[in-house]
Amino acid sequence: MMGKKKSFAEKIKKEGWMRIDCHPLAVWFGSTIVTVLLLELLSRKSLFSLFHFVFVTPHLFLMNFMLVLTTYSLMFLTRRWGFVRGLVAIFWGAIGVTDFVLLLFRTTPFNWHDLSLIDSAMQVMNHYVSGIGFVAIGAVIAACIVLIVVLFKKAARLSKRPNYKKGAASVVAVALLTVYFWCVGRWSAILPRNFSNIAEAYQTYGLAYCFTNSYISTGISKPDNYDAQKVENILDEEVVPVNTEVEIDPVETKAPEEVSVPEEYEEETKAPIEEYDAGVNVIYLQLESFFDITDLNDVTVNEDPIPNYHRLFDTCSSGFLSVPSVGAGTANTEFEILTGMNLDFFGCGEYPYQTVLREQTCESLPYCYDNIGYTSHAIHNNSATFYNRNMVFSRLGFDTFTSMEYMYNLTYTPENWAKDKVLTTNIIEAMESTDTSDFIYTISVQGHGAYPDEQILEDPEITVSGAPTEEGNNKWEYYVNEIHEMDNFVKELTDKLADYPEDVVLVMYGDHLPTMGLTVEDLDNKYLFQTEYVMWDNFGLQKKEENLAAYQMAAEVMDRVGIHEGTIFRYHQARRNTKNYQVDLETLQYDVLYGQRYAYGGENPFERTKMRMGLYDVTLDSIRLVSETDHTYYIKGTEFTPSSEVKLNGEWYDTVYVNPTTLMITGTELNDFDRLAVIQRSNSSTRKPLSKSYDRSCYALY
């Protein structure tokens, strides 16, 4: 007699939740297809684009299918095949959702190297995510944990041990087939290793492939026929000036008709000079998210928000600057400027600050200027630990690094970014702190996003109209008023440097376009990877109009003042716009970073510097009791800032910043042999110590 047929509920109770009465191969293939389709839909946000990817480029869809299929094949190695299948689905789902969310704030899709920036991302998350957003993130994480637990307990499992040999053979076979497709795609150039535009690459080649590629393809691949002779041939070029174009006479140039230039700016341009002393001070000013909004279609402003920058653009050497990122990636623009290296040759979405520069030093502007007697300073009005600059800058040869933790008199935007006007004082102080010529690399932060979609400026000086939505108008209005203040800072800085008793070259540029979801249709020039630069000076450089890439900028500046230092920079000066320029540049970059360093005689000549945080050491001079009632003490010294914090007997103690020579602590009675220290702490969420401990026993300080 046949037994009673089990109900569906009874099956679930006995055999496990999520059990599917299908052949395992059907489950395997079905899960893969659904996952790939959902990934691409999240990435593209368009059914039409999804259908185009699947049916017009089936070979690319197949590559993504094979990658996901390989990960799902792991379920054949365990009895808990439903649990493993669920984990794989959560893994790819997390990638797809993260990519979807990130693309709401920036242009660059999610890639493996973003995971190396988690610490930096945590430092700025409060600028992008509201309190409700943090609650939602916490809820999602909690839900994922609960789901994993439920999957472990309830997901379908085999009633007996699987055949591990067959399972392993299946996994290996699928993995090898995937590798075969990958290699054939690479060999036939259907699947590229590097992408000049990562956003377009994700749309063309698929999320699974591009994300996986960003993990596998790190650094620079070994070029064909790489050897000592090839490097020698590349370097065996005479360094010749790149200024071969017809020079533009330095005549007084009127501003564009739509720009109103105050009379105080109508200055007579200095006569050009032919030769310069190599002792000129060189300052770079990287302006956060700064660009000319008058190049933006549709959006209009009531007056020019950056009249000073426009004046300089029309009267000084200037042009467009191609940068490696859009909406984010400040550190990559920095890397190209400081090293002269083209990021197109590195891995997809790679940040060298987080990869190669975590392990070794690298030829850079500070090392080159050090060779001719300069002192190199980095200045940034944001936390020192952002992008790990407090560690990376010593591997780039800087002598000092003044971050916001070493600044006082800071003021802040409504979105809590430090305003840039504080940088003028720090730049002047850096030059006055040495008897040498100075190279100063300054990174601004005021223009940083996110930009509020609500109107938070009560009486904005610049008003905006023309955006598709009111929220868009509010974002642009906030942005233009911030860059208007940055423009005022530019005027203040150039006014100070104009009267400085030493020769100065000041190079200013935007690091990338702002995080506004811009498309090529929004811009007059139809190019997202481009800002503008100005090369100002106080001693009469001849005006020159030229468009440059970020990695070419430093070589051009050095050439303008008669400096020919550094293997990479001399290469640009000699070979820019010549045959095989990019091919040989890739070989040279590989050699000095990953190869045998034939260019340096087989060794890395650059030693990590003992970089000083701040220009001067903190001093701890005395402790004075000011109130016995609540045990309030004044700690006297020098170079204190709001980031100075007391450590008492090895424990952090609540500290009140009074002024640059005074800190205050309250609530505990100090004894003669207590150990008291003053340490600069990071303003990041990690609150890492940034300086050595300046400490003494209390009895020696009274």
What are the C-alpha distances in Å from 334 to residues 242, 285, 646, 667? 23, 11, 34, 45
Cβ pair 588, 599 in contact under 8 A: yes
**pLDDT exceeds cutoff 70 at 134:** no
More confident residue, 257 or 125: 125
Q: Where are the beta strands (DSSP E) in 243-368?
A: 281-287, 300-301, 317-322
Q: What does the pLDDT read at residue 686?
A: 72
Give me the amino acid identity at 119: D
Count Cβ atoms within 10 A of the Cβ of residue 138 and give its class: 0-12 exposed, 13-18 middle, 19 or more buried.
Answer: exposed
- Range in 5-9, 119-123, 637-641 the model is least confident about: 5-9
**pLDDT exceeds cutoff 90 at 479:** yes
**pLDDT exceeds cutoff 90 at 5:** no
- In the numeric block, the tokens 């609150």 are attached to 687
Q: What is the mean pLDDT of residues 281-286?
A: 98
Other CB atoms within a 10 A radius of the CB of residue 692 amount to 12
Cβ pair 212, 528 in contact under 8 A: no
Q: What does the pLDDT read at residue 4?
A: 54
pLDDT category at 146 given cuts 50, 70, 90 is: confident
Q: What is the mean pLDDT of residues 29-37?
A: 93
- Write the DSSP assignment of 195-219 as a string of letters: -S-HHHHHHHH-HHHHHHHHHH--S
Q: What does the pLDDT read at residue 75?
A: 86
Q: Where are the beta strands (DSSP E) in 239-309?
A: 281-287, 300-301
Nearest to 645 by CA among 654, 658, 633, 637: 654
Distance of alpha carbon 512 from alpha carbon 327, whole angstroms? 6
- In the numeric block, the tokens 């990071």 are attached to 682
Q: What does the pLDDT read at residue 656?
A: 94
Residues 6+ apart with CB under 8 A from 642: 408, 410, 657
**pLDDT exceeds cutoff 50 at 243:** no
More confident residue, 689 or 336: 336
**pLDDT exceeds cutoff 60 at 276:** no
**pLDDT exceeds cutoff 70 at 493:** yes
The pTM assigned to this predicted structure is 0.81
**pLDDT exceeds cutoff 90 at 78:** no
Average pLDDT, the chain: 84
More confident residue, 123 or 45: 45
Cβ pair 535, 557 in contact under 8 A: yes
**pLDDT exceeds cutoff 70 at 665:** yes
pLDDT category at 106 given cuts 50, 70, 90 is: low
| Percent of the chain whose pLDDT exceeds 90 | 52
- Range in 194-198, 610-614, 664-668 the model is least confident about: 194-198
Q: What is the pLDDT of residues 343-353, one digit of tens each?
A: 999 987 788 99
Q: What does the pLDDT read at residue 126?
A: 56
Q: What is the pLDDT of residues 224-233, one digit of tens each?
A: 889 999 999 9
More confident residue, 196 or 207: 207
pLDDT category at 576 given cuts 50, 70, 90 is: very high
Nearest to 39 by CA among 209, 201, 213, 216: 209
Cβ pair 79, 162 in contact under 8 A: yes
Helix ranges restricted to H, 103-130: 118-128
Q: What is the pLDDT of residues 393-437, one digit of tens each?
A: 999 999 999 999 999 889 999 989 999 999 999 999 999 999 999
Task: Assign 576 to helix, strand or coil.
Answer: coil
Q: What does the pLDDT read at residue 336?
A: 97
